[in-house]
């Protein structure tokens, strides 16, 4: 049964949900939004459980969140974050939950939470680039297993850091963003937005970039109905509902966001011939590849190691779904849930503690080498698991 903690104070209502614990720990980001509800935090915590199980990383899934008004001053916001951290101090100090950055929570916000708990951390790793690597791998895998004319057209709901990195990773001659939406509105351009104009518009205007790009202005809700091959939801949980499913023209949904589907929508889209991936498959680079980076592996090495290999795994996921006459989302969820159940019985042995302590004392190049080996082994195991399924 998940552990739920309500920790509220002046200017905010806070939640912590620990969905699962593996080796006495869990992890997940801190979401901050003015309309955040407990159900969203629960969905996200469960998604983290499935993500860590899919990736075979030894930790459980958790998520924290604050419903906080945007009108708070910087000083009031910092005070609220520190107070939230103060209330979670026993959990953080015990290592039962490790918070990270998420929607609305910057590195400075995360440092404030830790500071309130009486703990100091360095500059947190921005995982958005690594998330973009696996999203790009999924898009490439879909294109390889579902032939069609190039360039493939992408429509993105939410153009944040991950989507921005995605633009720099995907080759422009094979993939074009033809529709995008932010809180400021939507924009559709049949020829596709160029990489330089997207980068420049986002740098200069943030979410208002939709007002400074070529093409046709539209309501942000209408981008889902634009003429695209792949739709990438990058907004909040359960953002893809029944009305959106009826208007969707894309033949694949590859999420940047966690838990993007409302109840029953994946089955409905599958019946309509739309390929759907779960968020924990598409965006797992944020936890998977960032663990390599934190162990000292360079970003370019991670992309070279991780990108092509993970693309092959997702291709195998598509093939397995076709063989079993199931959607890839169903296949991946069955694997992740089975692994999560098996991992619930895992305990941190004394030998594991000693080994982990010894690894922390190794030279940096040795730690990086061991992290790379563990990643390669986990990826091989996942591919083998898909072939056996």
Domain ranges of the chain: 3-116, 129-335
**CA 17, 22, 23, 28 torsion: positive or negative?**
negative
173 and 150 in contact (C-beta within 8 Å)? yes
Closest CA to 57 of 275, 339, 305: 339
CA distance to 63, 224, 321, per residue, from 103 (Å): 12, 21, 31
Say how many C-beta atoms besides its own lie within 10 A of residue 34's C-beta: 13
Superfamily of domain covering 129-335 = NAD(P)-binding Rossmann-like Domain (3.40.50.720)
Provide the terminal-to-terminal Cα distance of the chain, rounded to the nearest Å. Answer: 28
Same fold, 3-116 and 129-335: yes
Residues of the chain scoring pLDDT < 50: none
User: What are the tokens at 129?
Assistant: 């680039």
- Radius of gyration (Cα) for the chain, nearest Å? 21
Given CA atoms 267, 268, 270, 271 in this order, what sign does their dihedral have? positive
Q: Which two tokens stand for residue 175?
A: 């993939």
β-sheet with 152-157: strand ranges across: 216-218, 185-193, 175-182, 152-157, 230-233, 252-253, 275-276
Q: Which residues contact 147 (CB under 8 A, 6 or more apart)?
A: none
Q: Tens of pLDDT along 66-75?
A: 999 999 999 9
pLDDT at 383: 93
Per-residue pLDDT of 346-376, as tens digits, reads 655 555 555 555 555 557 777 788 888 888 8
Helix (H) / strand (E) containing 157: strand 152-157
Residue listed under structure tokens 């509105």: 185
Sheet holding 98-100, edge to edge: 3-6, 12-18, 60-68, 26-33, 98-100
Query: How many residues would you count in the chain?
Result: 389
Position 369 scores a pLDDT of 83
* Helix residue ranges, H only, the chain: 38-55, 74-93, 107-116, 128-145, 161-169, 195-205, 242-247, 265-271, 279-282, 285-294, 299-324, 328-343, 350-360, 364-388
Task: Give me the residue label for tokens 């092959």.
Answer: 312
What three-state secondary structure class fits 204? helix
Q: How many CA atoms lie within 13 A of 222 on its CB side?
A: 9
Pairing of strands 60-68, 252-253: unpaired
Residues 6+ apart with CB under 8 A from 199: 164, 167, 168
Fold of 3-116: Rossmann fold (3.40.50)
How far is residue 96 CA from its own chain's centroid?
A: 21
Residue with tokens 């620990």: 18
- pLDDT value of residue 305: 77
Contact at 8 Å (CB) between 128 and 202?
Answer: no
pLDDT value of residue 348: 55
d(CA 192, CA 326): 33
Positive or negative CA dihedral for 304, 309, 311, 312?
A: positive
Which two three-digit tokens encode residue 92?
A: 């953080």
């Amino acid at each position: 049964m998940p552990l739920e903690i309500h920790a509220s104070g002046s200017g905010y209502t806070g939640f912590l949900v620990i969905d699962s614990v593996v080796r006495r720990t869990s992890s997940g980001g801190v979401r901050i939004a003015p309309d955040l509800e407990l159900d969203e935090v629960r969905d996200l915590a469960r998604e983290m459980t499935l993500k860590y199980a899919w990736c075979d990383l030894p930790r459980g899934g958790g998520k924290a969140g604050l419903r906080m008004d945007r009108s708070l001053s910087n000083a009031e916001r910092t005070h609220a974050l520190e107070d939230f951290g103060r209330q979670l101090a026993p959990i953080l100090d015990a290592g039962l939950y490790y918070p990270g950055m998420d929607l609305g929570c910057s590195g400075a916000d995360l440092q404030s939470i830790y500071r309130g708990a009486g703990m100091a951390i360095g500059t947190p790793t921005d995982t958005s680039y690594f998330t973009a690597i696996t999203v790009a791998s999924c898009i490439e895998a879909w294109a390889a297993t579902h032939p069609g004319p190039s360039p493939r057209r992408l429509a993105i709901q939410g153009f944040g850091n991950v989507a921005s990195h995605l633009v720099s990773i995907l080759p422009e001659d094979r993939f074009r963003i033809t529709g995008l939406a932010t809180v400021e509105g939507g924009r559709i351009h049949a020829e596709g937005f160029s990489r330089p104009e997207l980068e420049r518009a986002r740098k200069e205007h943030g979410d208002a970039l939709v007002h400074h790009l070529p093409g046709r202005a539209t309501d942000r809700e209408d981008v889902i109905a634009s003429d695209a091959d792949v739709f990438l939801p990058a907004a909040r949980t359960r953002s893809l509902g029944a009305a959106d499913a009826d208007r969707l023209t894309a033949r694949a949904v590859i999420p940047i966001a966690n838990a993007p589907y409302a109840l029953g929508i994946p089955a409905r889209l599958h019946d309509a011939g739309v390929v759907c991936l779960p968020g924990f498959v598409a965006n797992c680079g944020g936890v998977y590849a960032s663990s390599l980076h934190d162990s000292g592996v360079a970003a370019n090495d991670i992309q070279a190691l991780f990108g092509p290999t993970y693309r092959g795994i997702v291709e195998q996921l598509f093939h397995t779904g076709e063989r079993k006459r199931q959607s890839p989302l169903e296949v991946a969820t069955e694997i992740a849930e089975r692994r999560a159940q098996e991992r619930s019985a895992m305990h941190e042995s004394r030998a594991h503690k000693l080994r982990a302590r010894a690894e922390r004392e190794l030279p940096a190049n040795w730690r990086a080498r061991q992290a790379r080996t563990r990643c390669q082994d986990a990826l091989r195991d996942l591919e083998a698991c898909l072939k056996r399924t």
